[in-house]
Chains A and B, each alone.
Chain A
Amino acid sequence: MFEAEATADVFLMTQPFSAPAEQSVEAKLIEAVLNGEQDCFARLYEMYAPMVHGILLARVPRAEVDDLVQDIFLHALRKLHTLRNAGAFGGWLAMITRNRAMDFYRSSRETVEVTEKTAVAKSPNRIAMEILDLIRSLPEAYRETLVLRFVEGMTGPEIASRTGLTAASVRVNLHRGVKMLREKMGVMSEPPTVAGG
């Protein structure tokens, strides 16, 4: 938890200080929340919950994701006053989410493995879970972008604006990730070769 905060602070310090000409919706909402209008945070939650869900789904077992989404938003609400540039809210939240996912594995690795198997066995859509497992086996940069694109249904520009990544990075991650996923799915769908045949 503390590491997540520290890294998020470092992220804020290294972010370019470039606010848009007019105040964004996020900035207005954050200002309102900091002025005591706690209900405005619900709007931020609605806007960013799919992104947080997607980033977590690319890293942690599905059964844990919903609780972690709640935890991350509560943590963000507590630490909102430390956010210096309201325009960087998406990137800040994404960084908190990634760090929280790492902390999750660090703190409860053994429990996770049992839960993962149970979750897969109970999953209503086994094919989807299998494809998700393939995506999770890809490099980190690709898996997050692919989950946000295919699971959460966000477009490339939406992913870029929500996560704070550049559009070029997202585009590259999408194309390379899909290419690698196709290769992995092709290997999976190929019939097993008969030895000596």
Chain B
Amino acid sequence: MDNNYLWDRSGEIDPDIQQLEETLGALRYQPQPLRIPTSLQIRRRRSFYPLLAIAAAIALVAIALGLWFAFKQHQVTTPLDVRQNAQPAPKQIEKELPQPKREPEQAALNPGANPVRSQKRHREPTHALLARSKVRAPAPPPLTPAELAEKEQVLVALRLVSAKLNVAQRKAQGLPAPNPIRNQHKIG
């Protein structure tokens, strides 16, 4: 039997269905005007939600940057500590590096001064600094478990920030958020 008539009133007319329509049609809604009281106040849609999302995103970015700087600082201080503890290393490097030309003159003027201190005071040429930095910069030490955890934390924070910024951008542009629920069917 063709059931399209029951669905959308197309196709072959089902006399039983038509009879039901005619009988029950007597109970159909009779249009009446909506009586809205004058005292009724319509509240406007809350507009602070996108602002809140943006503020949260900014806060997250700040936290992530703070963590990142802290992590970087921690990385920088570690080789310095190593250098301070290891005394012979600078002497070795000094031997390798070419001596500046002005050094003998300064030594002649002030023979009692500590040669190492005077050497530190004067400004070295850029290529020498570069060479020193190349020589001195040791291979980064392997990260400790605590450092690895911090690094992971920073990466997670950055991912969170990225996701939040994406949501905030979509909210600001009036686009709907991506649907996290797939294949949802209503029941009943």
Please list the residues of chain A having a beta carbon within 8 angstroms of any beta carbon in chain B: 14, 16-19, 33-36, 38, 41-42, 45-46, 49-50, 53-54, 57, 62, 66, 69-70, 73-74, 77-78, 80-81, 85, 124-125, 127-129, 131-132, 140-141, 147, 149-153, 155-157, 164-166, 168-169, 171, 173-175, 178, 181-182
Contact = CB atoms under 8 A, between A and B. Distances in A.
Q: Is the interface of B mostly helix, strand, loop or mixed?
A: loop
6 contacts: A17-B176, A17-B177, A18-B179, A81-B44, A152-B28, A153-B25
Given A70-B35, A178-B6, A128 B42 contact: no
Which of the four size classes fits the interface of chain B?
A: 35 or more
B40 A155 contact: no
Interface string B17-36: 10011011111110111111
> What secondary structure prevails in chain A residues at the interface with B?
helix
Specify which of B7, B16, B25, B187 lies most central, judged by the most chain A CB atoms within 10 Å of its CB: B7
A132 B24 contact: yes
B102 interface: no
B120 interface: no
Given A18-B176, A81-B43, A169 B26 contact: no
Contact of B176 (A19, A128, A152, A156): A19
B32 A34 contact: no
B9 interface: yes
B184 interface: yes
Among A74, A168, A173, the most chain B Cβ lie within 10 Å of the Cβ of A74
Contacts of A155: 7-9
A187 to B, nearest CB: 15
B34 A73 contact: yes
B28 A16 contact: no
